[in-house]
Amino acid sequence: MGTIRIHNPGLLTTVQDLGRFGYQQFGMPVAGAMDTYSLKLANYLVGNHRGEACLEASIMGPEIEFLADALIAVCGAEAPLLLNDLEIEMNTSLQIQKGDVLRFGMIKKGCRLYISFAGGIDIPILMGSKSTYLRANIGGFHGRALKLGDELSIGDAPRKFVQRSLKPMDLLPIKTHQHIRFIAGSEISRFSFEGIKTFLNSDYTISPKSDRMGYRLSGAKIEHKDGADIISSGISNGAIQVPADGEPIIMLADHQTVGGYTKIANVITVDLPLLGQMKAGDTIHFSEIRLNEAQALLKAESQQLNDLCNQ
Amino acid sequence: MIQYFPSGDSAFLVKFGDEISIDIHQQIRSYVIALTALKLEGIIELIPSYTDVLVQYDPLIIPFSQLLEQLKKAAENCPEVQSPEARTIRIPVLYGDRFGEDIEDVKLHTGLSEDEIVQLHTQSKYLVYMLGFTPGFCYLGGMNEQLATPRKKVPSDRIKAGSVGIAAGQTGIYPIESPGGWQIIGRTPLKLFDPNRTPVFLLQAGDYLEFYSISNEEFDQLNGNN
């Protein structure tokens, strides 16, 4: 087992994996990585299983001292990566030596960095997952974001080093204006024709009041037919609720399990990582696709990841 | 009539009605049992609520057309389902005293004395319709209307875990510390949600719940045992 010491925690760095399943019926949110695609890529690069826990760093990368040799990778947002003040590459497996210090320059593109460690992060599995659910202070590293001075146990560097790298076409297409695809929501009939038209024809801006629970969007108001409230009902990741004020909210990783507002749409699963790399000020244009098309896209993505691993 | 709506590409909403009722609740209970009994590969989890069940699944294992077929089959199997007898969970509460910070407001609004409030609150058998909002938070039905008190005008920043409260026609327990607007009338020493315990959650949808009044000393005793 190796250890890392946090010299600078960044803005919001938490341990996340693919989420905590099996307890949503008890009100327990799934949490997990906002960009699961980049997390999976980072794990592939160090030979971990796809869903191993990584560090998710939002807006600003952490400064980490390695107290033992390690094998790591960084995927997701684009930022200068410095090892002992020498610039190195993202999206490739990196051999780290005891005493090395890793830090990041300002994020140039995207929002969240994923740092994987060969052998994973050695923290307790809580209710089946290593993901941090911040609101209830549970899971991950003591249920909270990392702080200055924290020390975490990580896996050992493997004895045989296998170099893996990603090509540009393997990476998530990060943009500040994205086309996000959706399936029509279960309460679409609660919206007026004008309202639906507005939703399809407008560009929405991610407001600063956005976080891991959801993104509040500002833009043209969406009109309801007869009110925005429903009897509390289950919510999927990517569900777009529209309260009475007409401004949509996209439910994301830390969303509450049930909600009381009409849902106009559900973002398709393959597009959720795109949202995970967006920040306040970025814009979104929505378009509808069919259920079978969305599922075909999921299949294609899974195949792509399998092909990568089998190279 | 049961309706089926895709809820994105990895979930289906199975809807039983448009109102909160014991009848719909029992249909949902039977349905969850019938669907679980099919032991379908690819179903990740079920989230029951007042009027529907959200079925989350992995479309790489079971595509939507196949799933929909099975969801309908489960509906057909419902009449044969024997719902197990519902559990009744008894929740000890120290009413008023050091933890019932809003009980004076409830007295003012309802015109009831503290003893009457406690009596009415402990007399009912509450149904746990569903959980949500925060881990372990139960949506309860069956509170006596006389106790109804509007939410606080200014929500509290910090309501302690175990707090028992009233908001309009509802009553409930805060399982974890959180901000909130409920009128707090007491506290339970029980942990509704404990990630390090088996079971993690004390209550689930379909349970019945009864409150009973305890003394200061009993509270400290039970609290020590957590």
**Percent of all residues in chain A with a pLDDT value above 90, rounded to a whole number:** 93
Identify the H or E element spanning A281.
none
Average pLDDT over chain A reads: 96
Read off the pLDDT of residues A47-106 as tens digits, 9 standing for 90 and up: 999 999 999 999 999 999 999 999 999 999 999 999 999 999 999 999 999 999 999 999
pLDDT at B72: 97
Tell me the residues of chain B between 65 and 124 that have a Cβ less than 8 Å away from chain A: none
Q: How many CB atoms lie within 10 A of CB B157?
A: 9
Per-block mean pLDDT, blocks of 10 residues, chain B (226 long):
96 95 95 96 96 97 95 93 92 95 95 96 96 93 94 88 93 90 95 93 96 96 79
Instruction: Return the residue in A23, A26, A275 with the most chain B beta carbons within 10 A, the one to mutate for interface testing.
Output: A26
Residue owning tokens 């994923």:
A114
pLDDT at B225: 66
Residue B222 forms contact with A (CB below 8 Å) = no
Overall average pLDDT of the A142-155 stretch: 97
Residue A310 has pLDDT above 90, yes or no: no
| Calpha distance A142→B185 (Å, rounded) | 32
Q: Report the chain A residue with the minimal C-alpha distance to residue B179.
A: A135
pLDDT at B226: 58
Pick B132's closest partner by Cβ from A21, A258, A269: A258
pLDDT at B175: 93
Tell me the residues of chain A between 54 and 83 that have a Cβ less than 8 Å away from chain B: none
Residue B50 forms contact with A (CB below 8 Å) = yes
Can you say how many angstroms the Cα of residue B176 is from the centroid of all Cα atoms in its chain? Answer: 14
The DSSP call for residue B87 is P
Residue owning tokens 């909210």:
A249
| Calpha distance A170→A141 (Å, rounded) | 30
Assess contact for A75 and A57: CB atoms under 8 A.
Answer: no
Question: Are A239 and B7 a contacting pair at CB < 8 A?
Answer: yes
Instruction: Report the amino acid identity of residue B97.
Output: D
The DSSP call for residue A188 is G
Assess contact for A105 and A80: CB atoms under 8 A.
Answer: yes
Residue A311 has pLDDT above 80, yes or no: no
pTM reported for the whole predicted model: 0.94
Strand arrangement, sheet containing B88-95: B138-141, B126-131, B208-213, B88-95, B183-187, B163-167, B170-173
Q: Report the chain B residue with the minimal C-alpha distance to residue A267.
A: B8
pLDDT at B79: 87
Instruction: Return the residue in B9, B18, B128, B207 with the most chain A beta carbons within 10 A, the one to mutate for interface testing.
Output: B9
Question: Are B9 and A269 a contacting pair at CB < 8 A?
Answer: yes
Read off the pLDDT of residues A173-221 as tens digits, 9 standing for 90 and up: 999 999 999 999 889 999 999 999 999 999 999 999 999 999 999 999 9
Assess contact for A231 and A190: CB atoms under 8 A.
Answer: no
Read off the pLDDT of residues A260-287 as tens digits, 9 standing for 90 and up: 999 999 999 999 999 999 999 999 999 9
Assess contact for B201 and B207: CB atoms under 8 A.
Answer: no
Residue A18 forms contact with B (CB below 8 Å) = no
